[in-house]
Amino acid sequence: MGRVGTRWIIGVAVSLMWGLAAPAWAEEQRIDHSTWDHLLHGYVSNGRVSYRRLVTERQMIEEYLEYLATIHVERLPKHEQLAFWINAYNAYVVKWVLDRYPLRSVKDVRGFFDNLKCHLAGQDLTLNQVEQRSRALGDVRVHFALVSASVSDPPLRSEAYTGARLGEQLTDQATRFLSDPARGLRLDGDTLWASMLFKTSAKDFVSGRLTPDALLKALHASVPAALQAPQTPVRLLKWITYDWALNER
């Protein structure tokens, strides 16, 4: 496990040695994402990752993920659970890219999303299952935080998600992504061009038929001013071609 989470484990172990139940704070502990935060600060800029340099830090990522494997995530408050699943997803994506680096695209790896296994919270899960766990917590902004190492993804933050700042971080992610005309949304006359993620996860954003008006209404709080009150009626919804090239810098 290395340096991550050592103090939490020692505290529980000492209690057990003295014949006591684990302390109350052990049931509601905050997860220590400092190792992942350190790596993101050092190797991510403007959403792009310096995989070439980050390869030398692979052991730190592995230690962090070994730590996450021990967490009883179901005991955490909801905001801590969501931060856990987002960070776990993004860290495993980065680890698997580094394991195969140099790599042109995660699409070149068979089973990247539905076969390779993440060991998290005492379970073996695919990336698709980790995504499902995060989406099940009911915050649609999670779509702007999960990053699959591709150019058309939302940007990878240069910091880890934390329960204490999660709302602020997710709001910022949504605003940044939706304001990016190359990846998020853009208006061209009567046509709204949108990221493919809104097509593949449409039911998370709108309850009925996916139309330009329905999508803009669902995203109203985070879209640029020009999209909040278009000058002309928006009649068509088209999809921005997804670029699966590696989000490398």
Each residue's pLDDT tens digit, 36-62: 999 999 999 999 999 999 999 999 999
pLDDT digits (tens, 9 = 90+) for 136-173: 999 999 999 999 999 999 999 999 999 999 999 999 99
> Is this structure's pTM higher than 0.75?
yes
* pLDDT on residue 229: 85
Q: Which residues contact 24 (CB under 8 A, 6 or more apart)?
A: none
> Long-range CB contacts (< 8 A, 24+ apart) of 213-219?
216/192, 218/140, 219/174, 219/178, 219/185
The answer on pLDDT for 195 being more than 60 is yes
Cα atoms in the Cβ-side hemisphere of radius 13 Å centred on 51: 21
Are 137 and 82 spatial neighbours (Cβ–Cβ below 8 Å)? yes
pLDDT digits (tens, 9 = 90+) for 5-20: 444 443 433 333 333 3
Q: What is the dihedral of CA 188, 190, 195, 200, to 10 degrees?
A: -160
How large is the average pLDDT for residues 122-127?
A: 97
pLDDT digits (tens, 9 = 90+) for 112-124: 999 999 999 999 9
Q: Report the side by side order of strands in the sheet with 191-194.
A: 185-188, 191-194, 236-239
Share of the chain above pLDDT 90, in %: 84
Of 146, 152, 145, which Cα lies nearest the Cα of 128? 146
